[in-house]
Structure 1
Amino acid sequence: MLVLTIDQRGSRRDGDRVPELLAAFEDVWPGAVAGSAVPRPEGVVLGFERTVGDEVQGALDDAGLAVAIVLRVLRAGGWSVGIGCGRVDEPLAETSRAASGTAFVLARDAVEAAKSRQRVVPFAVRGAHHQAGLDAEAVLTLVAATAARRTAAGWEAVDAVDAAGPHARQEDVAAAMGITQQAVSQRLRTALYDEARAASGAAARLLLAAQG
């Protein structure tokens, strides 16, 4: 199981952003929030919810979805993110707050590590398989750091391609954006879009291995 623990940074300065984060989750992944009126999406085992203070937690069994959520949260900024990879106690409780097990303990260790000021990206992974967890952390940190250096134009192209879906033609994306196909291609190359996608897939596989 993959447990994501997300803790707000600078809450005294910025106020409580947990409702904002949960609303964003529900908008992108309907049903991903605990207590949602719609069924949980595939891959979400325990819906995301506030656990204590300005902290949010959820449990997944889909590593690709975990990567997508981590990258979206890090892009938004203002959060420390930890992933714990391991077993959970069975029978599984109905909420993240009530659940327990190795993955939850490791997620706590990970989010505390993510808060270190020495980290360029406030993110960490702790796994039952220790080295695989560290490898997943290294790869996903690099993806997030690369994304953080994208320009507004780069993000516009990345978002347009992602929204269009995996089978969309680049010329159609360009027409929707009102720019040339060559301009879209150049923006995606500069943003290291293909490289980041490949690395994200590698990170997902490492997260699975980190479960032990």
Structure 2
Amino acid sequence: MFVVTADQRDSRSTRDLVPDALAAVAELAGDRLTAAAERTAGDEIQFATADPGALLALALHLTRTGTWSVGVGIGDADSPLPTSVRAGRGEAFIQARDAVERAKKTQTRVAISGGPDAADAEALVRLLVDLRDRRTPEGWEVHDLLADGLTQREAAVRLGISEAAVSLRAKVAALRVEVAAVPALERLLGRADGAA
């Protein structure tokens, strides 16, 4: 089980981002959450999933803006899970608390705790977040269009630039690296969950 505790960064000096985050998590995860995302305390949200793909997609989404510290706990949870994630108990919840506290102190804003493979997963997810943090707004434009299913040719038309320019943006943004890394990270996170 993966439990995510995400804490809004600089919440005292910015607007409340929790409602937007809850909506985004629900939209991105669909039915892949084991426990729906909720506000747990002030500027924190928490949710649970058994799906490593959903976990990675949500962690990458939350870290993209730089406004969330994301802690991932891996381990068992008391079963059955209560209807409210706030009432959840078990090792995954304890590890998520540890992870979010560590995430607050890192440049990449993400940490993973629990089980023998958590450190490996954390190191590689941090590498991917660091790579994404270096992406320019133009690189993100191409990323988002391709993620929506457009071809590079269609993205070029939409952006009003040449196909070669789209290809260059994709290369500079390391989009192929990310596309190759995500399935490998999903497998590693699945193994980490199984080992925990």
TM-score band by shorter chain is over 0.9
Q: Indicate conservation of the 8 Å contact 1:140/1:200, yes or no.
A: no
State the match for 2:169 in structure 1: 187
What does residue 35 of structure 1 align with?
A: none
Per-residue deviation, residues 74-129 of structure 1 (Å, max 9, x unmatched): 1122211000111111122112111111111111111111111xx221110012x2
- Separation in 1, partners of 2:77, 2:37: 16
* 1:5 shift after superposition: 0.6
* Partner residue, 1:12: 12
Picking from 51, 62, 67, the partner of 2:56 is 67
Is the Cα contact below 8 Å between 1:8 and 1:55 reproduced in 2? yes
Q: 1:179 and 1:59 mapped to 2: Cα distance?
A: 41
Distance 2:192 2:74 in 1: 6
Residue 89 (str. 1) matches residue 74 (str. 2): no
The answer (yes or no) to whether the contact 1:139–1:202 under 8 Å persists in 2 is: no
Q: Which structure 2 residue ranges, 5 or more long, are not aligned?
A: none
Offset at residue 54 of structure 1 (A): 1.0
Q: How many residues are aligned here? A: 194
Which residues in structure 2 correspond to 1:3-82 (within 5 Å)?
3-26=3-26, 28-29=27-28, 41-82=30-71
- Structure 2 residue aligned with 1:154, among 124, 128, 139? 139
CA distance in 2, matches of 1:99, 1:3: 10
Shift of 1:172: 2.3
CA contact (8 A) 1:83 1:107 kept: yes
* Matched ranges for 1:85-124 at <5 A: 85-116=74-105, 119-124=106-111
| Paired amino acid for 1:120 | Q
Q: What stretches of structure 1 of length at least 5 have no aligned partner?
A: 33-40
Matched, 1:172 2:154: yes
Rounded to whole Å, the distance in 2 between the matches of 1:157 and 1:91 is 42
State the 1:194 CA deviation.
0.9
**Aligned equivalents of 1:16, 1:42: Cα separation in 2:** 25
**Secondary structure, aligned partner of 1:11:** coil
Q: Tell me the CA shift for residue 24 of structure 1.
A: 3.0
Measure how far apart 1:201 and its partner are: 2.0
Contact in 2 for aligned 1:139/1:200 (Cα 8 Å): no
How far, CA to CA, are the matches of 2:74 and 2:25 in structure 1? 21
Structure 2-normalised TM-score?
A: 0.93
In structure 1, distance between residues paired with 2:40 and 2:156: 43
1:46 offset after TM fit, Å?
0.7
Aligned to 1:2: 2
Percent of aligned positions that are identical: 42
CA RMSD of aligned residues (A): 1.5
Task: Tell me the residue number matched to 2:181.
Answer: 199
